[in-house]
Amino acid sequence: MKKSNKMIAAAAAGALLLTGGVTAVANAVSPAAAPAAPVKVAAEVQPAPENVVSQNRISVGASSAAVNAALAKCQTDKLPFVTVALVDRFGTVQAILRGDNAAEHTIEAAKQKAYTAAAFGAPTSELAKRINGNGPSIADLPGTLFLAGGVPLKVNGVSVAGIGVGGAPDGALDEACATAGADALATAAK
């Protein structure tokens, strides 16, 4: 080693020793010297029922069954390169299943189609027809995708979730798979 490299190595070792020593001294302060902060216990809040909103969600078992049914439909249709996502109405993923050979972009497409269908309570193929003109539109909303392939899931007529499929060469094929997933939930409920 050259002399300058030896000096750098020695300086680095010294800095390490100094840092370690300072840390050891700081950790050596006795617990009696530092008073313990009182522990605050969270108060139990009892909100009035009119101030609490309940929400319907698709269960984990039903979510799993829906994405599996959607992917099974795509596989039957020789579309193994899609991703299926089921999200709640706020866009939080409940279940996601990526098919064999599905590209990375299909994950976001499926989630965004599912969220768009859930948020607007309509299939994304119908929503896509509402976009026209050259100015800003609903298509500019973050996290949404107005391409066919997203289907809302409703409980008592209210959209509570959405299922979306991304990756097929045509949005109508994506939507057929998403519809199969939604139908799996409808038949399971009967």
* Residue 22 pLDDT > 70: no
Residue 2 lies in a domain: no
Q: For residue 150, give the DSSP letter.
A: E
Query: % helix / strand / coil in the chain, to the nearest 5?
Result: 45, 15, 40
Domain ranges, residue 92: 60-189
Per-residue model confidence as pLDDT tens digits over 111-147: 999 999 999 999 999 999 988 777 788 888 999 999 9
Is residue 6 very low, low, confident or very high in pLDDT (cuts 50, 70, 90)?
low
Residue 43 lies in a domain: no
Higher pLDDT, 34 or 19: 34
Residues forming beta bridges with residue 95, ordered by sequence position = 86
Instruction: Tell me the average pLDDT across 150-178.
Output: 96
- Residue 11 located in a structural domain: no
E strands of the chain, at which residues?
Answer: 83-88, 93-98, 150-155, 158-166
Whether residue 76 lies inside any domain: the answer is: yes
* Count of structural domains within the chain: 1
pLDDT at 23: 43
Given a cut of 90, whether residue 150 has pLDDT beyond it is yes
Kindly report the CATH number assigned to the domain that includes residue 152.
3.30.450.150
Per-residue pLDDT for 17 more than 60? no
In a domain, 40, yes or no: no
Per the document, the length of the chain is 190
- For the cut 70, the answer to whether the pLDDT of residue 93 exceeds it is yes
